[in-house]
Amino acid sequence: MSYKNSKNSIERRARRIATRYGLHLMTCQKPDKRVLAHGGYMLRDGETMKILYGDAEYPFSASLDEVTEWLEELDARRGEVPA
């Protein structure tokens, strides 16, 4: 049985990519009904503590798929992994 595409492994992968860029993947600890319906994640800059993604309509509004897509676009824009 493969766990490659399980939620936990996808979250770990997203967390590793975010860490490369000095970002923190944050999860909602006490979700309300909006977060439970869709979302639960935010990305925060580790230096400035500014939320970069996932707070559009309400806090933790991004889903894990949206966060990984955003991080993959960031990887593509930068073209290389930072040292």
| pLDDT tens sequence across 7-43 | 889 999 999 999 999 999 999 999 889 888 888 999 9
pTM of the predicted structure, to 2 decimals: 0.82
Instruction: Tell me the C-alpha distance between 83 and 10, whole Å.
Output: 23
| pLDDT tens sequence across 40-71 | 999 999 999 999 999 988 999 999 999 999 99
Cβ–Cβ < 8 Å for 58, 35: yes
User: Taking 50 as the threshold, does the pLDDT of residue 83 lie above it?
Assistant: no
What is the predicted pLDDT for the residue at 22? 95
The DSSP code for 13 is: H
